[in-house]
Amino acid sequence: MALRARTHQGQTTPADAQEAAVPFRELTLSTMIEKQCTRLYIGDQTGIFLFYTFWETIIARGSKTVWIKCGNKDKVRATAIWLGDPVGNKYAPFSCIQEHTS
């Protein structure tokens, strides 16, 4: 099951958040029943910024570091996923590497 949402939603009042939570809970529970799931995992996704991405040529003498430009912007090259469950168990994080064709 994959859920996607816009990241810039603006300010939300507590009443609006409660209104949005009820249909989401119903959808989640109905999907769990349909797919026969017994445990719900809570996932938190965060971007990993690689500020110091470099490539180094190793030679016997005078090794130089060549920096890779990323369009002069900080770009997310990997995503870390943190998992937990309602019981309080925390699981080892894993990362998803994004690769684009050049």
Average pLDDT over residues 84-91: 84
Q: What is the pLDDT of residue 53?
A: 46
10 Å CB burial of residue 40 (0-12, 13-18, 19+) is: exposed
Residues 73, 66: Cα–Cα separation, whole Å = 17
Q: What is the pLDDT of residue 35?
A: 94
Question: Residues near 56 by Cβ (< 8 Å), separated by ≥ 6?
Answer: 63, 64, 65, 66
* Predicted TM-score of the model (pTM): 0.46
Six-digit token pair at 7?
């990241």
Condensed to tens digits (0 to 9), the pLDDT of residues 20-52 reads 999 999 999 999 999 999 888 888 877 666 554
Condensed to tens digits (0 to 9), the pLDDT of residues 44-61 reads 877 666 554 444 444 555
Average pLDDT over residues 10-27: 87
